[in-house]
Amino acid sequence: DVQLVESGGGLVKPGGSLRLSCAASGFTFSSYTMIWVRQAPGKGLEWVSSITTRSSYIFYADSVKGRFTISRDNAKNSLYLQMNSLRTEDTAVYYCARARTAPTGDWYFDLWGRGTLVTVSS
């Protein structure tokens, strides 16, 4: 089956760290740009970070820049998000998603994982 499975979420205190993983299967992971998107409880979708196929280009939302680090291991078909200096406002379900390139060169996202919940609370 073509799927993405996130893991690594949990409860962490403010200022703490957590590393999320996203395991890909059923497709050639190394051929796709990947992203992380989060959704705070009862709120909308917020893009977090993107990484291209060979990790050549990496982008972050301003809200996480300097605190979060995205990476990937194509040999392990895995995507990661290292989250440091966590804040209460980082509490959310974190989704990984596969990017496709539109004819215009824009990105859109055709495959999403089920998400992993990160709760930042003292």
Partner 1 sequence: SYELTQPPSVSVSPGQTASITCSGDTLEDKYVCWYQQKPGQSPVLVLCQENKRPSGIPERFSGSNSGNTATLTIIGTQAMDEADYYCQAWDSNTVVFGGGTKLTVL
Residue closer to partner 1, measured from CB, 3 or 121: 3
Tokens of 36: 């992380």
- In whole angstroms, the minimum distance from the beta carbon of 10 to partner 1 comes to 19
Measured between alpha carbons, how far is 113 from 41 in angstroms, rounded to an integer? 17
Could you give the CA distance from residue 6 to residue 63 in angstroms, rounded to a whole number?
21
Report if residue 112 touches partner 1, rule: CB under 8 A. yes
Closest CA to 82 of 51, 108, 53, 45: 51
**Per-residue interface string for the shown chain with partner 1, residues 36-75, x marking contact by CB under 8 A:** -x------xxxx--x------x-x-xx-------------
Smallest Cα–Cα separation from 53: which of 3, 12, 99? 99
Nearer to partner 1, 13 or 23 (CB): 23
Give the range of 14-22, 66-74, 80-88, 107-115 binding partner 1 by CB under 8 A.
Answer: 107-115
Bridge partners (DSSP) listed for residue 68: 83
- For the chain, the C-alpha Rg in angstroms (whole number) is 14
**Shortest Å, Cβ 63 to partner 1:** 11
Binding-site ranges for partner 1 (CB under 8 A): 35, 37, 44-47, 50, 57, 59, 61-62, 95, 97, 102-104, 106-110, 112-115
